[in-house]
Chains A and B, each alone.
Chain A
């Protein structure tokens, strides 16, 4: 992230007491909460309205995060370069109130994968640009594609104007919609994103009217400093040293497992993470540098101090290095659609290294996955007959066991945190029937505290469809800590008559079914030390752990 400690655009002479800053910080948090709620409630796609796969934030005029709502950590990756890219590509004097910028590209737009479409609107007070309201929605589109390079993955949109002074740029909109498989949903979700930004502009303007623009901007700066101080205080309390961790990253996008490693050096109140990874591959699992930053900031904050404000200040003591052109720091034209699996693995890699420094403050390995299932087909009946449909969902797995408690069962971990779609909504919207949704016996890593259990979902198709599954931990379960065992592995089980999936790609005929099993979490501590009462409860509740 580009950091300007002293902004060239305007000096901020106001000096503030910590109480005023705290009061304004509360107000900023209210604004991003409200814009997020507006986005979800006005949206149409199941991915936003029920699964809440979206985020909202406020940025200062240079594009530094002032405040991000507690939605999806990986979305920060798309945010942090977006405003700087706008400022780099457009003449500042020509940016006007009511302009709305749209973008998604991993290289020209600071994005992390193409379905995450960002909308940013500048906020003007007294004719000067003071801040940006920004939101991101994961549009479930660009499905059933190849991923050898980014040109196969969907429409690339650089940061361009979707609206000029509140008037829609119809040419741009039409071009985008023609490239989408479910244009009606895209249009509706974009409208919800617009509505959310309008709320952000209105609330931020009110806040400036109340406290004075200079005071709000100065408080914004001070909040960044504050997050930095807390991050430094937290890092200073960790033991200095260099900690290395390695793991093998297997997935359904690339035939070979990829070795990943990190060396973490904690020195005083700073931390450096040096990653090592193979060169980028012709598959969708590459991470852009911004995705790597967002992932790193997320997990470092979680370990060091979960209460640090999620703004750009927390990044200042963190240095992230990775070989350019590698899987974790890819270059054009690498494909990136499935980067979330890599983000999850990087998060666990960092946990593994931090466990050597502070084993009492980290969990064992989570299920390391964000298991993704994408269904696509052509509607065979109903009012939308002959139109395309795309349904994306992500499936949780086991959380890592903690030093004082079992891992959480069937949850989303790390860079993502989306809801499931209610079955009673899924089956109304798509030609699918869910036959089973349960915790997987034998998937928890054994331990004094066991890992969380993975999930099983069994789907039956009522119309023909194509399926794409992204998953990891097929070969080796998630690692335990301090003598804890590995979690259970993941798998795809085709039902009768269904052809085996080819690297995650499958086809279902109407009436056929298949199941997905997500991985479990690693255990913590020697299983021999598990409390006898807990062992009895496990037996009573038919909970078994993965074999050691």
Chain B
């Protein structure tokens, strides 16, 4: 018998610290598999953020740095500039990337840093216990928006892909869903493409994963995906915003 699917070598043996049903693990696997398949395990380095995935440095089986809150794109910039022979990515949540780290992500993208950013959007702060995120949906209740997100007071959720798509430099921008096995298979293709672009030092590549937070949403893992499909996908529409690689092939 042949093993056709297993834990990739690019993940350590350490079990994830995420809650049951949290889709961070799926995003981790997709990235780890793509790196393994691209043969980059010995030239890859990642940057872990502050948030639930703060311990990502324990889970990826290659060199990892842990960054201050929101600063992962700056740290990755330093790493890539110091070692152009390495390939780097950041892994960030919505609070880390779209609130405290807004400047760093916009400017890393604007410089066209030769790195990949994997952005996990579940519309809430997980690690600190379910507070409002920059991506929390209108009227959505969190521990710091107990009456629902009032858009007249605190504004609308930020659509990061759309925001970055206004910049000239980014090479690849896509929003994918992790909310069903079919979506995950599709997301895998995108992650593999981005890692391949990274391997070829094409430029700044960005993938947003629409994900869930069963624990802080207070919904079980299976129903969380249904909730996200109904509520998140209409606001955060999956789609390819930019693929300069495909444009180059066409022209």
Pair from one complex: no
The residues of A with any CB-CB pair to B shorter than 8 Å are none
The residues of B with any CB-CB pair to A shorter than 8 Å are none
